[in-house]
Amino acid sequence: MKKKVNIKDIARLANVSHTTVSRALNNKSRIRPETKERILSIARQLNYRPDFIARSLVMKRTKTIGLVITTIANPFYTELSQGIEMTARELGYNIIFCSTNYDLSTEKQYIEMLRSKGVDGIIFTSAHIGDPNIMELADEGFPIILVNRRTYHLKVKERVDYVGVDNLLGGYMAVEHLIRLGHQRIGVVGGSSESSVGFERLEGGKRALKAYGIEPREEYFLEGNFLRESGYQGGKKFLQMVDPPSAIFATNDYMAIGVYQALIEEGVRVPEDIALIGFNDIELSGIKGIDLSTIGQKKFEMGAIATELLVKRIEGSETGPPKEIFLRPELVIRKTCGYDLKGYQVEPKYLNEASFKVDYMIKD
């Protein structure tokens, strides 16, 4: 493997100092156009490739962003990641991919790595609700952004941006839709309580019940973990009840599909016997044979917005107070809920107080 050419090699051939070469390469001012041209042409001839490592060492910038995710096995994160990666590329950044598999110490380890490697910022797509790692980063003023899930720490809220769908509204929409279809006995399979989105979607659902004067029944609220299996278990559990719900809201599509499997396995017709709605609108949900009603969100866009904002923070073109950006969820009605309410609109009165009131913030 032949030696890599550096700016000094170019300098020698061009009869200038290496600084001048640097100036030419980064097209700075204070250089004669002819000199610059000469240098550039030599660089091209030598097939010069700048060494970002050396550059990073002096500039303290790597043009690299860390992406911390629990797992891309969930297609929701896949699409989110795509939005992130493509936007990063457009802005001249690379993404170091870190999947934690829901383990906080792996996350910690990754964060250490990323910082050692000098990433300019980190995107968290699936923050644990009281994540200490994120706290610490926020505390130090390290550039991070929370996407999709968030923590409720005051310290974090005061310092980091957040981009996500309005999960409270989404949960509200899902349950309101079921109510409008005439359902009164509504079961919910929630996500992990470690996750803000699970919490908020559930809370939204509860608010819908309240808004329509339906007394919530304790036994109708099951906690899952966002995986299909837990939806499946939930479905089975509901069916064992003497008075099972007539409609089920699962707080993500994976669990909804699990519920679906449990139901049809027991010979229950969906939606005739029990209606079903999920959350996320992953690709699978739209497939014929599944046809899951769900709450859709713009995942790709979400990733793009987050990346853009983080880069702005990194480059200093955005310096204002932390933002909370809530994307609008969208009701996607498919077979598992019936098609009879296509022109559905969210209650306007609710919309006015739409965005999530964070009254259960963690103070420490």
Interaction site with DNA (CB under 7 A): 4, 6-8, 15-20, 22-23, 25-26, 29-33, 35-36, 50-51, 54-55, 57-59
Q: How far is the CB of 209 from a copy of itself (least distance, A)?
A: 30
Question: Quick one: what does residue 184 bind among DNA, a copy of itself, none, with the CB cut-off 5 to 8 Å set by partner type?
Answer: none
Q: Which is nearer to DNA, 62 or 167 (CB)?
A: 62
- Sign, CA dihedral 128-186-357-80, equals positive
Is there binding between residue 140 and a copy of itself (CB under 8 A)? yes
Q: How far is the CB of 112 from a copy of itself (least distance, A)?
A: 7
Phi (first) and psi of residue 251, to 5 degrees:
-80, 0
Alpha-carbon distance of 75 to 286, in angstroms, equals 13
Site residue total, a copy of itself (CB under 8 A) = 52
Contact (Cβ atoms closer than 8 angstroms) between residue 298 and residue 327: yes
Is there binding between residue 75 and a copy of itself (CB under 8 A)? yes
Is there binding between residue 221 and a copy of itself (CB under 8 A)? no
User: What residue has token string 């699978």?
Assistant: 284
Is there binding between residue 1 and a copy of itself (CB under 8 A)? yes
Q: How far is the CB of 289 from DNA (least distance, A)?
A: 55
Q: Which is nearer to DNA, 35 or 109 (CB)?
A: 35
User: What residue has token string 């999947």?
Assistant: 99
Amino acid at 341: L
Q: How far is the CB of 84 from DNA (least distance, A)?
A: 26
Helix, strand, coil in percent for the chain, rounding step 5: 45, 15, 40
Q: Which is nearer to a copy of itself, 71 or 184 (CB)?
A: 71
Is there binding between residue 97 and a copy of itself (CB under 8 A)? yes
Q: Which of 33, 213, 267, 289 binds a copy of itself (CB under 8 A)?
A: 289
State which of positions 30-49 bind a copy of itself (CB under 8 A): 49
Q: Which is nearer to a copy of itself, 67 or 208 (CB)?
A: 67
Q: Where are the beta strands (DSSP E) in the chain?
A: 64-69, 94-99, 121-124, 144-147, 161-165, 186-190, 221-223, 247-250, 275-277, 294-296, 324-327, 330-332
Q: Angle between the 228-240 and 253-265 helix axes, to the nearest 10 degrees? A: 40
**What 8-state DSSP symbol labels residue 76?**
H
Q: How far is the CB of 45 from DNA (least distance, A)?
A: 15
CA neighbor of 279 nearest in space, from 260, 251, 259: 251
Alpha-carbon distance of 13 to 15, in angstroms, equals 6
State which of positions 50-69 bind a copy of itself (CB under 8 A): 50-54, 56-57, 62, 64, 67
Q: What is the DSSP string of 193-225?
A: TTBHHHHHHHHHHHHHHHHTTPPP-GGGEEE--
**What 8-state DSSP symbol labels residue 276?**
E
Q: Which is nearer to DNA, 15 or 71 (CB)?
A: 15
Is there binding between residue 6 and a copy of itself (CB under 8 A)? no
Q: Which is nearer to a copy of itself, 22 or 82 (CB)?
A: 82
Stretch that binds a copy of itself, among 138-146, 158-166, 178-186, 339-347 (CB under 8 A): 138-146
Q: Which is nearer to a copy of itself, 142 or 356 (CB)?
A: 142
Alpha-carbon distance of 144 to 134, in angstroms, equals 8
- List the structure tokens of 291: 């046809």
CA neighbor of 252 nearest in space, from 304, 188, 306, 207: 188
- Binding site residues, a copy of itself, CB under 8 A: 1, 49-54, 56-57, 62, 64, 67, 71-73, 75, 78-79, 81-82, 85-86, 89, 94-99, 101, 106, 110, 112-118, 140-142, 257, 260-261, 264-265, 284, 287-290
